[in-house]
Amino acid sequence: MSAITPTTSSLPPLRRSGSMRRAGGRAWIIAVWAVTLFFLVNLAGIIGAVVTSSLGTRWLRAWLPAGWTLRWYGSAWSDFQLTQVLTATFEVVGAVVLLAGLIGVPAAYAMARRDFPGKRIVLLMFLLPLLVPTITYGIPLTTVLYQVGLGGSLSGVIAANLVPTVPFVILVMIPFIEQIDPRLEAAARVFGAGTFRLFVHVLAPLLAPGIMAALLLVLVRTLGMFELSFLAAGPTSQTLVVALYYGVFAAGVRPEQSIDAMAVIYMVTSLIWLLIALRFVNPTQIVGRSRR
Amino acid sequence: MAVTEATGKRAKSWRENGLDGVTMLVAPALVLVVALFVYPFLYGLWLSFHPKAGGIFANYARFFGSAYQRSTIARTLGIALPATLVNLIAALPVAFRVRLMRRQRLITTLLVLPITLGTVLVAEGMLNFYGPQGWFVRTLSLAGLDAIGHLRLVHNYWGVFISLVITGFPFTFLLTLSYVTGIDPALEQAAATLGARGWERFRTIFLPLLAPGLAVTFCLSFVQAFAVFPSAVLLGQISGETRVISYAAYQAAFQKYDYSEASAIAMIMAAVQLALVVIVLAGRRLFYRGPAAGGKG
């Protein structure tokens, strides 16, 4: 805007109305930033309230808790069996990241390099799981999982989480692969490399940053994936976010500070990976919808 | 492509079509999506027509016959549509300002936080922050409003609405921003050179070019909002004014163990989402569609 305002305001016949417009324009800019700031302050308040509550002794009818303590973290750990929950969480997340990479990256390579009949339909099938809300397909999906005996098990949670993540890896990787000069692959082929050796020696090193970014995003998304894990999980296969849901749902059974301590543990686990991911990717990629 | 009898030639014509070893790398992913997405959806559709009792349409007849169940559609629309509109209308001017910033990354990072943390954590934070003794209500009463103990922002409609704004706005904003920055700035500069002012430039240049993108943004945001689940339970009145359709499906599946009825409700949910998307995208055709990126690519 600043590059354009001088041009318009320097037109002599419109001077007076121009300055009025400029005042109106400035008020509008202030209003827009005020709305943005209000949103961010609320966001900070929401996160800050959880952290404050988890560190407070007693917090009733006041701005701040009466005193400060760390004991809620200990009690949350034993109340919510966080050792078991965290083990399950990392098993699920690890398996999903590994499988989504192993299945998604080769598929993305085929999609980027080959034209085959029905490619548009295949692309649509990879897009749909990202566009349809998880709860909409989660219920039929868990019905099928329960019928084949995977419902409530760790493998069921992993299988359910692969549905949005494999297409996500494919759609993130396709543009990365398209950037690589196909002559490099042709050269490797001339020297007798098969597809497997081509992957290991040529593509993997070139694609490492892209694969890293895609898999970190899968990690962050799987940690935060509530609906699918919730529908597919049984008592022993709860991930951290599902345990948090049950904690909040049954509020009153346990002290609120204990739930907040678990919320902080969840938040820290996600944020560490988010910070690492943000070194490799643009934040907008987390929204993860590929356009065009 | 000539049809030949010899199998050797058929293999060759397959290869000409691109169906070689590399193409087959797409197979595992395809099998996974078919087995865990396409098949469950079709199976769910089939199952919804095979109710525990009654004729093939019994599930649907029961859903639409009971006011308690039927009203979940209107109730969910009543939360999701206003929240999506508020998010889109707020996202547009903010995206136009952020587009001019050099350090966009800070603000986009901050906005990605609620998406990453997810609705459950936001719900727990909102129970503290917007609660009857929370910081928000306290600040309002500092400003002279008699809010403490009177203003209720959680465990009702507004709790769910606010949570859809907190987690939905960043999503809508980031999509809008990517559309807004995709428009060649030269188009706006040309209009400015010809004397068009801010509002005129927006109305005559940006809005027609953005309309298709905004339609897609609206659809994606709406579809997510319509599937609201954890916040309706944790921040609303799940047996009352915020009994949303996804909860009705969840109840059928995991409290009544009637997967047939649950599938029927899930299919109704998908149908409503699809209907709205079709309506919005049909309206999109009224606008210009074509390259807007200029030389930027």
Q: What is the pLDDT of residue B273?
A: 92
| Residue B10 pLDDT class (50, 70, 90 cuts) | low
B13-17, B97-101, B152-156: segment of lowest average pLDDT? B13-17
Residues 6+ away with beta carbon under 8 Å from A144: B36, B39, B40, B43
Does residue A235 sit at the B interface (CB-CB below 8 Å)?
A: no
Backbone angles phi, psi at A116, to 5 degrees: -140, 160
| Residue B14 pLDDT class (50, 70, 90 cuts) | low
CA-nearest of A159, A132, A91, A114 to B31 is: A159
The answer to whether residue B58 scores a pLDDT higher than 60 is yes
| Token pair recorded at residue B54 | 């009654």
Taking an 8 Å cut-off on Cβ atoms, the answer to whether A45 and B129 are in contact is yes
| Token pair recorded at residue A200 | 């290991």
**Distance, in angstroms, between B200 CA and closest chain A CA?**
12
- Number of Cβ within a 10 Å radius of residue B255: 9
Residues of chain B with CATH 1.10.3720.10: 59-290
Taking an 8 Å cut-off on Cβ atoms, the answer to whether A7 and B105 are in contact is no
Q: What is the pLDDT of residues B211-225, one digit of tens each?
A: 888 998 999 999 999
Q: Are A230 and A134 in contact (CB under 8 A)?
A: no
**Distance, in angstroms, between A21 CA and closest chain B CA?**
9
CA distances to A50, A290, B46, B134 from B246, in Å: 27, 26, 19, 29
**Chain-centroid distance, C-alpha A234:** 23
Q: Could you give the percent of chain B with pLDDT greater than 70?
A: 90
Question: E strands along A69-205, which residues?
Answer: none
Q: What is the pLDDT of residue A107?
A: 95
Taking an 8 Å cut-off on Cβ atoms, the answer to whether A122 and B135 are in contact is no
Q: What is the pLDDT of residue B262?
A: 94
- Compare all CA atoms of chain B with the CA of A127 and give the residue at the minimum distance: B33
- Number of Cβ within a 10 Å radius of residue B66: 11
Q: What is the pLDDT of residues A24-42, one digit of tens each?
A: 888 889 999 999 999 999 9
Q: What is the pLDDT of residue B289?
A: 61
| Residue A7 pLDDT class (50, 70, 90 cuts) | very low
A18-27, B50-59, B228-237, B267-276: segment of lowest average pLDDT? A18-27
| Chain B residues 132-191 within an 8 A CB cutoff of chain A | 133-136, 138, 166, 169, 171, 174-175, 177-179, 188-189
- Number of Cβ within a 10 Å radius of residue A87: 12
The 10 Å CB-count burial string (b at 16+, else e) for A124-152 is ebbeebbbbbbbbbbbbbbbbbbeeebbb
**Distance, in angstroms, between B166 CA and closest chain A CA?**
7
Q: What is the pLDDT of residues A63-107, one digit of tens each?
A: 899 889 999 999 999 989 999 999 999 999 999 999 999 999 999
Q: Which whole number is the average pLDDT over B245-260?
A: 93
Q: What is the pLDDT of residue A33?
A: 92
The answer to whether residue B3 scores a pLDDT higher than 90 is no
Q: Which whole number is the average pLDDT over B273-283?
A: 89
| Residue A272 pLDDT class (50, 70, 90 cuts) | very high
B209-213 long-range contacts, CB within 8 A, separation 24+:
B209/B183, B209/B288, B209/B292, B210/B179, B210/B180, B210/B183, B211/B284, B211/B287, B211/B288, B212/B284, B212/B287, B212/B288, B212/B289, B213/B175, B213/B176, B213/B179, B213/B182
Higher pLDDT, B297 or B76: B76
What's chain A's average pLDDT?
87
A201-205, B60-64, B244-248: segment of lowest average pLDDT? A201-205
Q: What is the pLDDT of residue B288?
A: 60
| Chain B residues 80-139 within an 8 A CB cutoff of chain A | 90, 93-94, 96-97, 100, 105, 107-129, 133-136, 138
- Across A161-165, B184-188, B199-203, B208-212, which has the greatest mean pLDDT? A161-165
The answer to whether residue A13 scores a pLDDT higher than 60 is no
| Residue B195 pLDDT class (50, 70, 90 cuts) | confident
Backbone angles phi, psi at A181, to 5 degrees: -65, 120
| Token pair recorded at residue B201 | 């430039």
Q: What is the pLDDT of residues A123-172, one digit of tens each?
A: 999 999 988 889 889 999 999 999 999 988 999 999 999 999 999 999 98
Q: What is the pLDDT of residue B291?
A: 61
**Distance, in angstroms, between B189 CA and closest chain A CA?**
7
**A152 bridge partner residues:** A233
Q: Which whole number is the average pLDDT over A182-200?
A: 88
**CATH 1.10.1200.10 describes domain B59-290:** no
Q: What is the pLDDT of residue A292?
A: 33
Is residue A40 packed enough to be buried (19+ CB in 10 Å), middle (13-18) or exposed (0-12)?
Answer: middle
| Residue B101 pLDDT class (50, 70, 90 cuts) | confident
Q: What is the pLDDT of residues B165-180, one digit of tens each?
A: 999 999 999 989 988 8
CA-nearest of B171, B286, B291, B167 to B219 is: B171
Residues of A in contact with B177 (CB under 8 A): 284
Residues 6+ away with beta carbon under 8 Å from B159: B126, B130, B153, B231, B235, B236, B242
Q: What is the pLDDT of residue B2?
A: 45
Q: What is the pLDDT of residue A94?
A: 96
Q: Is A174 left (phi over 0), alpha (psi -120 to 50) or beta?
A: alpha
Q: Which whole number is the average pLDDT over A183-200?
A: 88
The answer to whether residue B148 scores a pLDDT higher than 90 is no
For an interface test with A, give the residue of B26, B135, B205, B268 to mutate (most A CBs within 10 A): B26
- What chain A holds in terms of domains, given with CATH numbers, is 5-69 (no CATH), 77-287 (1.10.3720.10)
Q: What is the pLDDT of residue B294?
A: 52
**Chain-centroid distance, C-alpha A215:** 11
Q: Are B161 and B152 in contact (CB under 8 A)?
A: no
Q: What is the pLDDT of residue A26?
A: 87
Selecting from A113, A167, A286 the residue whose C-beta is nearest the C-beta of B112 gives A286
